[in-house]
Amino acid sequence: MNVKLKKSTHEVSLNSGHRQRVYQKLQEPNYCFLDYEIVEMMLFLAIKRKDVKPLAKKLIDNFGSVHRILNASRAELLNVKGVGNSIVNVIKTINIILNASIKDRVEKQSVIECLDDVITLSKNYCLDNECLCLVLLNNINEVIKFEKTNEGDVSAVNFSTRLIVKKCIEFGARKVILIHNHPSGDPTPSSQDIYSTKRIIEALEIFDIKLFDHVIIGKGRYISFRTIGVI
């Protein structure tokens, strides 16, 4: 017969003390949290009384970063020993909140005045998989809408010219900024990137809509198609 041993009061007290020390660091404005500590705090929400540091470190080892943990699929997360549905639900909830916050901040940046404004927006969207985001503008460069339209795998994304035009018309945009990322870290545009951009410019011109810029972002680097003369 299997007997489930109750965790000792001393062990529970140690875990509780560790959590309090982690939470205490939140009150230190200059404290820089380590990746595993951030993951620990996520796990605190799903696991009430247990030392979660080993699991937090295992998740970092498996995925490489907090960002990749947040964007991992449910199946990938559940494949890690010790991760159950309650943990996955917490991680997915935090990711949804984070993305909503970023989107809200983008849409509240009322006016795009220069390339630096475009880059500021772009830096928020360096994802693991390649994706395309649209920032829709009116005639005086006020942000109307931000939307992620396509997501591909780690090396490619499909540019739907028809969908881009449709979104611009749907929201009454007169200008649009394309933001797309290269998860490899190298923002150098491919020949397909350049070809697709030129096709999009031609399609938008039919409806008197301008492509304000197309920015490719990598890891700490970017390339603006307007700066390199494609637009």
Is it the case that residue 219 has pLDDT exceeding 90?
no
- Strand segments, DSSP code E, in 14-79 are none
Q: Give CATH superfamily name and number for 10-101.
A: 5' to 3' exonuclease, C-terminal subdomain (1.10.150.20)
Q: Which of 2-6, 30-34, 207-211, 222-226 has the lowest mean pLDDT?
A: 2-6
Q: What is the DSSP letter of 50?
A: S
Inform me whether the pLDDT recorded for 114 exceeds 70. no
CB distance 123 to 217 below 8 Å: yes
Q: Could you give the CA distance from residue 123 to residue 142 in angstroms, rounded to a whole number?
A: 19
More confident residue, 27 or 214: 214
Does the structure show a pLDDT above 70 at 122?
Answer: no
Q: Is the pTM of this model over 0.75?
A: no
Q: Which amino acid is it at 21?
A: R
Residue extents of the structural domains in the chain: 10-101, 110-224
More confident of the two residues 14 and 98: 98
- Domain 110-224 carries which CATH code? 3.40.140.10
pLDDT, average across residues 42-53: 87
* Whether pLDDT at 211 is above 50: yes
Helix axes 35-44, 85-108, angle to 10 degrees: 110
**Residues contacting residue 162 through CB under 8 Å, at least 6 positions apart:** 203
Rounded CA-CA distance 134/115 in Å is 15
Name, in order, each residue with C-beta under 8 angstroms of 181's C-beta and a sequence gap of 6 or more.
125, 126, 127, 130, 131, 216, 217, 218
- pLDDT number for residue 153: 42
- The confidence band for 203, taking pLDDT boundaries of 50, 70 and 90, is very high
Q: What is the mean pLDDT of the chain?
A: 79
In the predicted structure, residue 65 carries a pLDDT above the cut 60: yes
Gap between the Cα atoms of 143 and 174, Å rounded: 11
Q: pLDDT tens digit string along 83-110?
A: 999 999 999 999 888 877 766 665 565 5
Residue type, 197: T
